[in-house]
Amino acid sequence: MTFSQIQPVSLREQVVEQIRTAIIEGRLRPNDHIVEASITQQLGVSRTPVREALILLEQDGLVVSQPHRGCFVRTFTPRDVADIFTMRTTLENFAGERIIDHLTEADYQHLEDLITRQQQAIAVDDIQVRALDMSFHQYLVRKSQHELLIHNWQQIVAQIAAVLYLRAEAIPDYDENLAIHDHTAIIEAYRQRDLSALIAANRRINLRVAGECQYAVETALKARKS
């Protein structure tokens, strides 16, 4: 029997994951003040890894720092949402250009298995639905083996997850099965090795989701002002 080597995880990385998850799940809300002293007390760490984590989260676009005031959870605008999803479209279409002629039946089986798991999660209202959604796209992006592409895509994933949470709040009866149709269309384009169809599908899907998230952001901004 062989074992994989255990990778050490720094305190900073653990703090990053804790704060990122709190933002994505809505436990830290847009414009909330992130109080270093409170986080250090709750996590049982010193201020150094917390400060380092906040710097990384600001680079990821989830946190903003204000001189003499501290760090706050980023508030998204409709323009921010448009920028995020147009960038996502560009990155995923670039990935498609690199891999569309190279996917194997094993790749398609893995993607279809993810869709099946997503359908099962939707049926029981499992919170893992959006994580499975992202896993589908992440698999395709990682197949590109283009490190800069992968890095940039990962950098916007948390922002996408945060605005998707706002969408879930603004549209509580949102039909998660739309993502199943989206993923099925993407797989079909890959199977046909039809780059034009893939590009069109990615643009259509991201334009629709961006519109939904812009509505959610506008709703949240109105609620803050009222």
11-73 CATH, one of 3.90.25.10, 1.10.10.10, 3.20.20.100, 3.40.50.11710: 1.10.10.10
Averaged pLDDT of the chain:
91
**Predicted confidence (pLDDT) at residue 33 exceeds the cutoff of 70:** yes
Radius of gyration of the chain (CA): 19
Report pLDDT digits (tens) over 46-74: 899 999 999 999 998 999 999 889 999 99
Encode pLDDT of 104-119 as tens digits.
999 999 999 999 999 9
What mean pLDDT is predicted for residues 88-95? Answer: 98
Considering the four listed CATH numbers 1.10.490.10, 3.40.50.2000, 1.20.120.530, 1.10.10.10, the one that applies to the domain covering 78-225 is: 1.20.120.530
| 58-61 LR contacts (CB < 8 Å, sep 24+) | 59/155, 60/20, 60/155, 60/158, 60/159, 61/155, 61/156, 61/158, 61/159
Could you read off the pLDDT of 122-153 as tens digits, one per residue?
999 887 888 899 999 999 999 999 999 999 99
Confidence check: pLDDT of 7 > 70: no
The pLDDT score that the predictor gives to residue 134 is 92
Read off φ and ψ for residue 192, nearest 5 degrees: -80, -5
Question: Where in the chain are the domains?
Answer: 11-73, 78-225
Residue 30 confidence (pLDDT): 86
